[in-house]
Structure 1
Amino acid sequence: MTSEDLVQMALALPGTEENAHFGKRDFRVAGRIFLSLPEAGRAVCKLTRGQQAMLVETQPGLCAAVPGGWGHKGWTSLYFDSAELDTVHHIVETAWRNVADAMNDGATKH
């Protein structure tokens, strides 16, 4: 899987827009980042800590917590270039849903 495959996957999710953060490509829904591409073959996804822990345990080598405080908040590296398409799609969609659902929850609480 290439970075461009991942880009197309992310952009196919409803409401997704491409942008940049610190000079790196990112993907947002409702203005919030759910995925970034800091380097070839690696994406960073917005997961919950529970989702992150499960993936790190069940997908060793595919997923790892981002070092430092960001990783403690659920930000997870996804090493996608040799991964199965369905697995990557599930992780990307989960990150998208985490942000999209949080934005929808906030909209309904006001």
Structure 2
Amino acid sequence: MTFEEFRAFVLSLPETVEAQHHGSPDFRVRNKIMANLDETAGCITVKLSLSDQQALVQRGDGSFSLPGGWSKFGWTTIDLRTAAPDEIKELIVDSWRRVAPRELWKQLAEHEVMDLSDDHPARP
């Protein structure tokens, strides 16, 4: 997944905006960070459940890693160059749900997000 595809997908989610965090782009829902982008390393960091985080890292394919101390809160680094785009999208939506207020979840269910693999709208 390219940086442009990542940005387009994440910004298609309800009330998601791009901001800055420690000099790098981040993406927020009502001022709560749901993803960080590290363009130098070619990766993103998203918030997942600890069980999902553990399962992804234990696969050992190099696409998922732990970002130091923040990993104990579920933050997981994803290599955009090696992880499957559909899986990245699924994990981004999961991270969005973890930080977005429940009142926004209905908007997500009603909101068609871009399916960047074939340029047709799809539901997450």
Residue equivalent to 1:73? 73
Structure 1 spans left out of the alignment, 5+ residues: 106-110
Residue equivalent to 1:54? 55
Residue equivalent to 2:12? 12
Query: 2 CA distance for matches of 1:93 and 1:17?
Result: 14
Query: 1 CA distance for matches of 2:44 and 2:14?
Result: 19
Residue equivalent to 1:104? 102
Structure 2 spans left out of the alignment, 5+ residues: 104-124
Structure 1 SS opposite 2:90: helix
Instruction: Spell out the pairing of 1:17-36 with structure 2 (5 A cutoff).
Output: 17-36=17-36
Q: Encode CA deviations 1:21-65: one digit per residue, 9 max, x unaligned.
A: 111000001210010112341001111212211221246311111
Change (3 A) 1:59 1:15: farther
Which shows bigger deviation, 46-55 or 19-28?
46-55
More helix per residue: 1 or 2?
1
Residue equivalent to 2:43? 42
Structure 2 SS opposite 1:26: strand
Query: 2 CA distance for matches of 1:60 and 1:98?
Result: 25
TM value normalised by structure 1? 0.83
Q: Alignment identity in percent?
A: 34
Residue equivalent to 1:84? 84
Q: Encode CA deviations 1:1-27: one digit per residue, 9 max, x unaligned.
A: 211111111001111011111110000
TM value normalised by structure 2? 0.74
User: What amino acid maps onto 2:102 in structure 1?
Assistant: N
Structure 1 consecutive aligned stretches of length 4 or more whose deviation exceeds 4 Å: none
Which shows bigger deviation, 78-87 or 25-34?
78-87
Alignment length (residue pairs): 102
